[in-house]
Structure 1
Amino acid sequence: MMKNIKVIAFDIDGTLYPQLRFFSRIFIHFWKNVVVFYHFGRVRKALRRCAPLPDLYRYQAILLSERMKCTTPEAEEKLNEVIYNAFPKYFKKVKCYKNVKETFKKLKEAGYKIAILSDFPPEQKGELWGVLPYCDGVYGAEKIGALKPSKYTFGIMARNLGVKMEEILYVGNSKKYDVEGAKNAGMKTAYFMSWWRRLLNKPLKDADISFKNYRQFLEIVLK
Protein backbone atom coordinates (compact mmCIF):
# COMPACT_ATOMS: atom_id res chain seq x y z
CA MET A 1 0.00 0.00 0.00
CA MET A 2 2.74 2.47 0.94
CA LYS A 3 4.67 2.19 -2.35
CA ASN A 4 2.45 4.78 -4.06
CA ILE A 5 2.22 7.13 -1.07
CA LYS A 6 4.11 10.43 -1.34
CA VAL A 7 2.50 12.41 1.51
CA ILE A 8 1.57 11.47 5.05
CA ALA A 9 -0.85 13.99 6.54
CA PHE A 10 -1.99 14.20 10.14
CA ASP A 11 -4.98 15.47 12.04
CA ILE A 12 -4.06 17.20 15.34
CA ASP A 13 -6.78 16.94 17.99
CA GLY A 14 -6.86 13.47 19.48
CA THR A 15 -4.30 12.28 16.93
CA LEU A 16 -1.10 14.03 17.95
CA TYR A 17 -2.12 14.48 21.59
CA PRO A 18 -4.71 12.93 23.96
CA GLN A 19 -7.77 15.16 23.98
CA LEU A 20 -8.44 14.25 27.61
CA ARG A 21 -5.29 16.15 28.58
CA PHE A 22 -6.72 19.26 26.99
CA PHE A 23 -10.27 18.79 28.27
CA SER A 24 -9.00 18.41 31.83
CA ARG A 25 -7.35 21.83 31.54
CA ILE A 26 -10.36 23.66 30.13
CA PHE A 27 -12.84 22.06 32.52
CA ILE A 28 -13.55 25.24 34.52
CA HIS A 29 -13.46 27.44 31.41
CA PHE A 30 -15.92 25.07 29.73
CA TRP A 31 -18.48 25.19 32.53
CA LYS A 32 -18.22 28.96 32.81
CA ASN A 33 -19.11 29.18 29.13
CA VAL A 34 -21.19 26.04 28.71
CA VAL A 35 -23.97 27.84 26.80
CA VAL A 36 -21.53 29.16 24.20
CA PHE A 37 -19.89 25.74 23.86
CA TYR A 38 -23.26 24.07 23.41
CA HIS A 39 -24.39 26.37 20.61
CA PHE A 40 -20.92 26.35 19.06
CA GLY A 41 -21.11 22.55 18.87
CA ARG A 42 -24.48 22.71 17.11
CA VAL A 43 -23.19 25.30 14.67
CA ARG A 44 -20.12 23.21 13.84
CA LYS A 45 -22.33 20.20 13.20
CA ALA A 46 -24.34 22.23 10.70
CA LEU A 47 -21.20 23.59 9.05
CA ARG A 48 -19.92 20.08 8.37
CA ARG A 49 -22.89 19.61 6.03
CA CYS A 50 -22.33 22.89 4.17
CA ALA A 51 -20.73 23.48 0.80
CA PRO A 52 -17.37 25.33 0.85
CA LEU A 53 -17.75 28.89 2.12
CA PRO A 54 -15.71 31.96 1.12
CA ASP A 55 -15.65 33.10 4.77
CA LEU A 56 -16.42 30.24 7.14
CA TYR A 57 -15.59 32.32 10.22
CA ARG A 58 -18.16 34.93 9.30
CA TYR A 59 -20.88 32.41 8.45
CA GLN A 60 -20.13 30.56 11.69
CA ALA A 61 -20.68 33.79 13.62
CA ILE A 62 -23.95 34.42 11.80
CA LEU A 63 -25.25 30.96 12.69
CA LEU A 64 -24.15 31.38 16.30
CA SER A 65 -25.82 34.80 16.55
CA GLU A 66 -29.10 33.26 15.37
CA ARG A 67 -28.91 30.52 17.99
CA MET A 68 -27.87 32.84 20.83
CA LYS A 69 -30.20 35.69 19.88
CA CYS A 70 -27.44 38.27 19.59
CA THR A 71 -25.82 40.34 16.84
CA THR A 72 -23.18 38.89 14.54
CA PRO A 73 -20.43 41.14 15.98
CA GLU A 74 -21.39 39.96 19.48
CA ALA A 75 -21.22 36.35 18.31
CA GLU A 76 -17.79 36.96 16.77
CA GLU A 77 -16.64 38.45 20.07
CA LYS A 78 -17.91 35.40 21.98
CA LEU A 79 -16.12 33.05 19.59
CA ASN A 80 -12.83 34.89 19.97
CA GLU A 81 -13.14 35.23 23.73
CA VAL A 82 -14.29 31.68 24.51
CA ILE A 83 -12.72 29.62 21.71
CA TYR A 84 -10.05 31.13 19.50
CA ASN A 85 -8.19 33.42 21.91
CA ALA A 86 -8.76 31.24 24.98
CA PHE A 87 -7.51 27.85 23.79
CA PRO A 88 -3.81 28.63 23.13
CA LYS A 89 -2.94 29.21 26.78
CA TYR A 90 -4.43 25.84 27.76
CA PHE A 91 -2.44 24.03 25.07
CA LYS A 92 0.88 25.28 26.43
CA LYS A 93 1.05 22.53 29.03
CA VAL A 94 -0.50 19.77 26.92
CA LYS A 95 2.02 17.14 25.87
CA CYS A 96 1.81 15.18 22.64
CA TYR A 97 1.71 11.41 22.39
CA LYS A 98 4.99 9.62 22.89
CA ASN A 99 7.26 9.43 19.81
CA VAL A 100 5.29 11.96 17.74
CA LYS A 101 8.32 14.12 16.94
CA GLU A 102 10.44 11.04 16.26
CA THR A 103 7.76 9.82 13.84
CA PHE A 104 7.76 13.06 11.86
CA LYS A 105 11.56 13.07 11.74
CA LYS A 106 11.87 9.50 10.50
CA LEU A 107 9.10 9.89 7.93
CA LYS A 108 10.88 12.95 6.56
CA GLU A 109 14.17 11.07 6.44
CA ALA A 110 12.41 8.27 4.56
CA GLY A 111 11.48 10.73 1.81
CA TYR A 112 7.83 11.42 2.54
CA LYS A 113 6.26 14.85 2.39
CA ILE A 114 4.47 15.61 5.65
CA ALA A 115 1.37 17.73 6.18
CA ILE A 116 -1.07 18.69 8.89
CA LEU A 117 -4.78 19.26 8.31
CA SER A 118 -6.96 20.18 11.27
CA ASP A 119 -10.46 21.57 11.70
CA PHE A 120 -9.22 24.01 14.34
CA PRO A 121 -6.45 26.54 13.62
CA PRO A 122 -3.08 24.72 13.91
CA GLU A 123 -1.52 27.94 15.21
CA GLN A 124 -3.58 27.52 18.40
CA LYS A 125 -1.16 24.75 19.36
CA GLY A 126 1.92 26.97 19.25
CA GLU A 127 5.01 25.19 17.95
CA LEU A 128 3.17 21.86 17.70
CA TRP A 129 5.69 20.06 19.88
CA GLY A 130 8.56 20.69 17.50
CA VAL A 131 7.13 18.96 14.41
CA LEU A 132 6.62 22.06 12.24
CA PRO A 133 10.15 22.02 10.74
CA TYR A 134 9.34 18.62 9.22
CA CYS A 135 6.08 19.77 7.61
CA ASP A 136 5.66 20.64 3.93
CA GLY A 137 2.22 22.08 4.55
CA VAL A 138 0.07 23.06 7.55
CA TYR A 139 -3.62 23.65 6.89
CA GLY A 140 -6.62 24.76 8.90
CA ALA A 141 -9.95 23.59 7.48
CA GLU A 142 -11.65 26.79 8.63
CA LYS A 143 -9.40 28.91 6.42
CA ILE A 144 -9.93 26.50 3.54
CA GLY A 145 -13.66 27.12 3.94
CA ALA A 146 -15.02 23.66 4.72
CA LEU A 147 -14.73 21.37 7.74
CA LYS A 148 -13.95 17.67 7.57
CA PRO A 149 -15.32 15.33 6.28
CA SER A 150 -15.74 17.56 3.19
CA LYS A 151 -13.90 16.26 0.11
CA TYR A 152 -13.12 19.88 -0.72
CA THR A 153 -10.96 20.26 2.38
CA PHE A 154 -8.83 17.23 1.55
CA GLY A 155 -8.71 18.24 -2.12
CA ILE A 156 -7.31 21.69 -1.40
CA MET A 157 -4.56 20.13 0.69
CA ALA A 158 -3.67 17.69 -2.09
CA ARG A 159 -3.63 20.45 -4.69
CA ASN A 160 -1.38 22.66 -2.58
CA LEU A 161 1.02 19.78 -2.02
CA GLY A 162 1.07 18.96 -5.72
CA VAL A 163 0.01 15.32 -5.39
CA LYS A 164 -2.94 13.14 -6.31
CA MET A 165 -5.48 12.13 -3.68
CA GLU A 166 -4.43 8.47 -3.83
CA GLU A 167 -0.85 9.50 -3.05
CA ILE A 168 -1.77 10.71 0.44
CA LEU A 169 -2.07 8.68 3.64
CA TYR A 170 -4.23 10.61 6.10
CA VAL A 171 -3.81 9.86 9.81
CA GLY A 172 -6.59 10.61 12.29
CA ASN A 173 -8.54 9.43 15.31
CA SER A 174 -12.09 10.06 14.08
CA LYS A 175 -13.85 7.36 12.08
CA LYS A 176 -16.35 9.79 10.57
CA TYR A 177 -14.30 12.93 9.98
CA ASP A 178 -10.81 11.55 9.39
CA VAL A 179 -11.12 8.00 8.05
CA GLU A 180 -14.39 8.23 6.15
CA GLY A 181 -13.71 11.81 5.05
CA ALA A 182 -10.26 11.06 3.64
CA LYS A 183 -11.37 7.73 2.19
CA ASN A 184 -14.29 9.35 0.34
CA ALA A 185 -11.82 11.88 -1.06
CA GLY A 186 -9.74 9.04 -2.50
CA MET A 187 -6.95 8.91 0.10
CA LYS A 188 -5.48 6.02 2.05
CA THR A 189 -6.20 6.18 5.76
CA ALA A 190 -4.54 5.36 9.08
CA TYR A 191 -6.64 5.24 12.23
CA PHE A 192 -5.24 5.93 15.70
CA MET A 193 -7.27 3.42 17.66
CA SER A 194 -9.50 4.58 20.52
CA TRP A 195 -8.69 3.29 23.99
CA TRP A 196 -11.29 0.55 23.89
CA ARG A 197 -10.11 -0.67 20.48
CA ARG A 198 -6.55 -0.75 21.79
CA LEU A 199 -7.72 -2.67 24.86
CA LEU A 200 -9.64 -5.23 22.78
CA ASN A 201 -7.11 -5.20 19.95
CA LYS A 202 -9.93 -4.37 17.54
CA PRO A 203 -8.72 -2.55 14.40
CA LEU A 204 -11.07 -0.33 12.42
CA LYS A 205 -12.03 -2.24 9.27
CA ASP A 206 -12.71 0.95 7.32
CA ALA A 207 -9.10 2.14 7.67
CA ASP A 208 -6.15 0.86 5.64
CA ILE A 209 -4.01 0.96 8.79
CA SER A 210 -5.00 0.82 12.46
CA PHE A 211 -2.34 1.50 15.07
CA LYS A 212 -2.05 1.72 18.87
CA ASN A 213 0.97 4.00 19.20
CA TYR A 214 3.46 5.84 17.04
CA ARG A 215 6.17 3.22 17.34
CA GLN A 216 3.77 0.73 15.79
CA PHE A 217 2.75 3.27 13.14
CA LEU A 218 6.38 3.74 12.09
CA GLU A 219 6.95 0.00 11.92
CA ILE A 220 3.96 -0.42 9.62
CA VAL A 221 4.79 2.51 7.34
CA LEU A 222 8.55 1.98 7.09
CA LYS A 223 8.66 -1.80 6.90
Structure 2
Amino acid sequence: MLHDVKVIAFDIDGTLYPQMRFNVRILFHFLTHLKFYFNFWQVRKALRRCAPLPDLFRYQAILLSERLHCTTPEAEKYLQDYVYGPYPEIFKKVKPYKNVKETFIKLKEAGYKVAILSDFPPEQKGDIWGVLPYCDGVYGAEHIGALKPSKYTFGIMAKELGFPLQNILYVGNNKKCDVDGPRNAGMKTAYLLPWWRRLLHIPLKEADICFKNYRQFMDIVLK
Protein backbone atom coordinates (compact mmCIF):
# COMPACT_ATOMS: atom_id res chain seq x y z
CA MET A 1 0.00 0.00 0.00
CA LEU A 2 2.84 2.39 0.83
CA HIS A 3 5.46 1.03 -1.56
CA ASP A 4 5.16 4.03 -3.90
CA VAL A 5 5.07 6.71 -1.19
CA LYS A 6 8.03 9.07 -1.50
CA VAL A 7 6.73 12.07 0.47
CA ILE A 8 4.95 12.23 3.82
CA ALA A 9 3.21 15.54 4.50
CA PHE A 10 1.64 16.58 7.79
CA ASP A 11 -1.11 18.88 8.92
CA ILE A 12 -0.24 20.83 12.09
CA ASP A 13 -3.28 21.83 14.13
CA GLY A 14 -4.64 18.87 16.07
CA THR A 15 -2.20 16.59 14.25
CA LEU A 16 1.21 17.48 15.66
CA TYR A 17 -0.21 18.67 18.97
CA PRO A 18 -3.46 18.01 20.91
CA GLN A 19 -5.97 20.70 19.95
CA MET A 20 -7.25 20.79 23.52
CA ARG A 21 -3.89 22.07 24.79
CA PHE A 22 -4.31 25.12 22.58
CA ASN A 23 -8.03 25.54 23.28
CA VAL A 24 -7.49 25.66 27.03
CA ARG A 25 -4.90 28.41 26.71
CA ILE A 26 -7.06 30.50 24.39
CA LEU A 27 -10.37 29.98 26.21
CA PHE A 28 -10.46 33.34 28.02
CA HIS A 29 -9.34 35.18 24.88
CA PHE A 30 -12.02 33.34 22.88
CA LEU A 31 -14.82 34.13 25.34
CA THR A 32 -13.77 37.77 25.51
CA HIS A 33 -14.10 38.12 21.74
CA LEU A 34 -16.90 35.64 21.14
CA LYS A 35 -18.70 37.72 18.47
CA PHE A 36 -15.53 38.03 16.43
CA TYR A 37 -14.70 34.33 16.57
CA PHE A 38 -18.23 33.25 15.66
CA ASN A 39 -18.11 35.39 12.53
CA PHE A 40 -14.51 34.44 11.79
CA TRP A 41 -15.31 30.73 11.71
CA GLN A 42 -18.33 31.38 9.50
CA VAL A 43 -16.03 33.20 7.08
CA ARG A 44 -13.53 30.32 7.17
CA LYS A 45 -16.35 27.90 6.43
CA ALA A 46 -17.31 29.97 3.37
CA LEU A 47 -13.70 30.19 2.22
CA ARG A 48 -13.43 26.39 2.15
CA ARG A 49 -16.02 26.41 -0.62
CA CYS A 50 -14.29 29.12 -2.68
CA ALA A 51 -12.20 28.69 -5.80
CA PRO A 52 -8.50 29.59 -5.41
CA LEU A 53 -8.02 33.27 -4.67
CA PRO A 54 -5.10 35.55 -5.61
CA ASP A 55 -5.22 37.13 -2.14
CA LEU A 56 -7.09 34.98 0.35
CA PHE A 57 -6.13 37.21 3.28
CA ARG A 58 -7.72 40.25 1.65
CA TYR A 59 -10.89 38.39 0.63
CA GLN A 60 -11.17 36.95 4.14
CA ALA A 61 -11.06 40.48 5.56
CA ILE A 62 -13.73 41.65 3.10
CA LEU A 63 -16.08 38.81 4.07
CA LEU A 64 -15.44 39.43 7.75
CA SER A 65 -16.07 43.17 7.41
CA GLU A 66 -19.49 42.44 5.89
CA ARG A 67 -20.42 40.20 8.83
CA LEU A 68 -19.09 42.61 11.47
CA HIS A 69 -20.44 45.71 9.70
CA CYS A 70 -17.07 47.42 9.71
CA THR A 71 -14.54 48.55 7.13
CA THR A 72 -12.11 46.12 5.51
CA PRO A 73 -9.08 47.78 7.20
CA GLU A 74 -10.84 47.40 10.55
CA ALA A 75 -11.48 43.72 9.82
CA GLU A 76 -7.81 43.26 8.88
CA LYS A 77 -6.82 44.78 12.22
CA TYR A 78 -9.20 42.47 14.08
CA LEU A 79 -7.64 39.48 12.33
CA GLN A 80 -4.16 40.62 13.28
CA ASP A 81 -5.14 41.41 16.87
CA TYR A 82 -7.22 38.29 17.54
CA VAL A 83 -5.76 35.58 15.28
CA TYR A 84 -2.45 36.19 13.56
CA GLY A 85 -0.86 38.36 16.24
CA PRO A 86 -1.38 36.55 19.58
CA TYR A 87 -1.11 32.92 18.46
CA PRO A 88 2.70 32.67 18.18
CA GLU A 89 3.13 33.49 21.87
CA ILE A 90 0.44 31.01 22.83
CA PHE A 91 2.05 28.21 20.84
CA LYS A 92 5.31 28.66 22.71
CA LYS A 93 3.50 27.12 25.70
CA VAL A 94 1.79 24.29 23.80
CA LYS A 95 3.58 20.94 23.74
CA PRO A 96 3.36 18.53 20.77
CA TYR A 97 2.31 14.91 20.84
CA LYS A 98 4.90 12.49 22.12
CA ASN A 99 7.41 11.27 19.51
CA VAL A 100 6.55 13.92 16.90
CA LYS A 101 10.13 15.11 16.42
CA GLU A 102 11.44 11.54 16.51
CA THR A 103 8.96 10.64 13.75
CA PHE A 104 10.29 13.37 11.45
CA ILE A 105 13.88 12.31 12.13
CA LYS A 106 13.16 8.64 11.46
CA LEU A 107 11.28 9.40 8.25
CA LYS A 108 14.20 11.44 6.93
CA GLU A 109 16.64 8.69 7.88
CA ALA A 110 14.46 6.21 5.98
CA GLY A 111 14.76 8.34 2.83
CA TYR A 112 11.36 10.02 2.74
CA LYS A 113 10.81 13.63 1.79
CA VAL A 114 8.89 15.33 4.59
CA ALA A 115 6.57 18.32 4.31
CA ILE A 116 4.03 20.35 6.22
CA LEU A 117 0.79 21.80 4.84
CA SER A 118 -1.43 23.76 7.24
CA ASP A 119 -4.40 26.06 6.77
CA PHE A 120 -3.01 28.60 9.23
CA PRO A 121 0.46 30.08 8.65
CA PRO A 122 3.04 27.50 9.81
CA GLU A 123 5.30 30.32 11.01
CA GLN A 124 2.85 30.87 13.88
CA LYS A 125 4.37 27.79 15.47
CA GLY A 126 7.99 28.97 15.37
CA ASP A 127 10.27 26.03 14.53
CA ILE A 128 7.21 23.73 14.83
CA TRP A 129 8.57 21.99 17.95
CA GLY A 130 11.93 21.28 16.38
CA VAL A 131 10.74 19.51 13.21
CA LEU A 132 11.34 22.40 10.80
CA PRO A 133 14.98 21.44 10.01
CA TYR A 134 13.76 18.03 8.81
CA CYS A 135 11.18 19.42 6.37
CA ASP A 136 11.70 19.58 2.61
CA GLY A 137 8.76 21.94 2.22
CA VAL A 138 6.51 23.99 4.51
CA TYR A 139 3.29 25.40 3.08
CA GLY A 140 0.42 27.54 4.31
CA ALA A 141 -2.89 27.07 2.50
CA GLU A 142 -3.75 30.73 3.03
CA HIS A 143 -0.67 31.78 1.08
CA ILE A 144 -1.47 29.24 -1.64
CA GLY A 145 -4.91 30.82 -1.97
CA ALA A 146 -7.30 28.00 -1.06
CA LEU A 147 -8.06 26.34 2.25
CA LYS A 148 -8.26 22.60 2.65
CA PRO A 149 -9.99 20.44 1.45
CA SER A 150 -9.38 22.16 -1.91
CA LYS A 151 -7.64 19.85 -4.39
CA TYR A 152 -5.83 22.93 -5.68
CA THR A 153 -3.91 23.34 -2.43
CA PHE A 154 -2.69 19.75 -2.40
CA GLY A 155 -1.81 20.00 -6.08
CA ILE A 156 0.33 23.09 -5.52
CA MET A 157 2.17 21.37 -2.69
CA ALA A 158 2.86 18.34 -4.86
CA LYS A 159 4.09 20.54 -7.71
CA GLU A 160 6.40 22.48 -5.40
CA LEU A 161 7.82 19.25 -3.99
CA GLY A 162 8.26 17.79 -7.48
CA PHE A 163 6.32 14.56 -6.91
CA PRO A 164 3.08 13.16 -8.34
CA LEU A 165 0.11 13.23 -5.99
CA GLN A 166 -0.02 9.44 -5.80
CA ASN A 167 3.48 9.43 -4.27
CA ILE A 168 2.40 11.50 -1.28
CA LEU A 169 0.93 10.35 2.03
CA TYR A 170 -0.92 13.12 3.88
CA VAL A 171 -1.26 12.88 7.65
CA GLY A 172 -4.00 14.68 9.57
CA ASN A 173 -6.77 14.54 12.16
CA ASN A 174 -9.74 16.02 10.29
CA LYS A 175 -11.81 13.75 8.04
CA LYS A 176 -12.99 16.43 5.63
CA CYS A 177 -9.81 18.45 5.34
CA ASP A 178 -7.10 15.86 5.93
CA VAL A 179 -8.62 12.67 4.52
CA ASP A 180 -11.35 13.53 2.01
CA GLY A 181 -9.42 16.48 0.57
CA PRO A 182 -6.08 14.80 -0.19
CA ARG A 183 -7.83 11.54 -1.12
CA ASN A 184 -9.93 13.35 -3.73
CA ALA A 185 -6.75 14.99 -5.02
CA GLY A 186 -5.12 11.59 -5.52
CA MET A 187 -2.99 11.23 -2.39
CA LYS A 188 -2.86 8.47 0.18
CA THR A 189 -3.97 9.40 3.68
CA ALA A 190 -3.15 8.66 7.30
CA TYR A 191 -5.67 9.58 10.01
CA LEU A 192 -4.85 10.29 13.64
CA LEU A 193 -7.76 8.73 15.49
CA PRO A 194 -9.66 10.87 18.02
CA TRP A 195 -10.02 9.51 21.53
CA TRP A 196 -13.52 8.11 20.98
CA ARG A 197 -12.47 6.08 17.93
CA ARG A 198 -9.48 4.76 19.86
CA LEU A 199 -11.71 3.86 22.80
CA LEU A 200 -14.31 2.08 20.65
CA HIS A 201 -11.77 0.65 18.19
CA ILE A 202 -13.50 2.28 15.22
CA PRO A 203 -11.11 3.05 12.34
CA LEU A 204 -11.92 5.51 9.58
CA LYS A 205 -12.54 3.37 6.50
CA GLU A 206 -11.79 6.22 4.07
CA ALA A 207 -8.18 6.53 5.30
CA ASP A 208 -5.39 4.27 4.07
CA ILE A 209 -3.83 4.27 7.54
CA CYS A 210 -5.35 4.88 10.95
CA PHE A 211 -3.10 5.34 13.97
CA LYS A 212 -3.52 6.25 17.62
CA ASN A 213 -0.07 7.69 18.34
CA TYR A 214 3.19 8.44 16.59
CA ARG A 215 4.92 5.33 17.84
CA GLN A 216 2.29 3.28 16.06
CA PHE A 217 2.55 5.51 12.98
CA MET A 218 6.29 4.83 12.74
CA ASP A 219 5.71 1.09 13.19
CA ILE A 220 3.26 1.11 10.26
CA VAL A 221 5.23 3.29 7.87
CA LEU A 222 8.75 2.09 8.65
CA LYS A 223 8.10 -1.64 9.01
Query: Could you state the TM-score of these two structures normalised by the residue count of structure 1?
Result: 0.99
SS in 1 for 2:23: helix
Q: How does 1:68-79 map to 2 (within 5 A)?
A: 68-79=68-79
1:87 matched to 2:90? The reply is: no
Q: Deviations over 1:59-84 (max 9, x none)?
A: 00000000000000000000000000
Aligned-partner Cα distance in 2 for 1:80–1:203 = 38
Which amino acid in the other structure matches residue 108 of structure 2? K
Question: What is the root-mean-square deviation of aligned Cα atoms in Å?
Answer: 0.4
Query: What residue ranges of structure 1 are gaps of 5+ in the alignment?
Result: none
Aligned-partner Cα distance in 1 for 2:26–2:33 = 10
Which amino acid in the other structure matches residue 79 of structure 1? L
The residue aligned with 1:102 is 102
* Length, aligned pairs only: 223
Aligned-partner Cα distance in 2 for 1:69–1:32 = 19
Q: Deviations over 1:135-160 (max 9, x none)?
A: 00000000000000000000000000
Identity over the aligned pairs, expressed in percent? 73
Q: CA deviation at 1:31?
A: 0.7
The residue aligned with 1:142 is 142
The residue aligned with 2:128 is 128
Aligned-partner Cα distance in 2 for 1:189–1:162 = 19
Aligned-partner Cα distance in 2 for 1:25–1:88 = 12
Aligned-partner Cα distance in 1 for 2:75–2:42 = 14
The residue aligned with 2:113 is 113
Aligned-partner Cα distance in 1 for 2:41–2:90 = 19
Aligned-partner Cα distance in 2 for 1:141–1:209 = 23
Aligned-partner Cα distance in 1 for 2:82–2:35 = 11
Aligned-partner Cα distance in 2 for 1:208–1:47 = 27
Aligned-partner Cα distance in 2 for 1:205–1:10 = 19
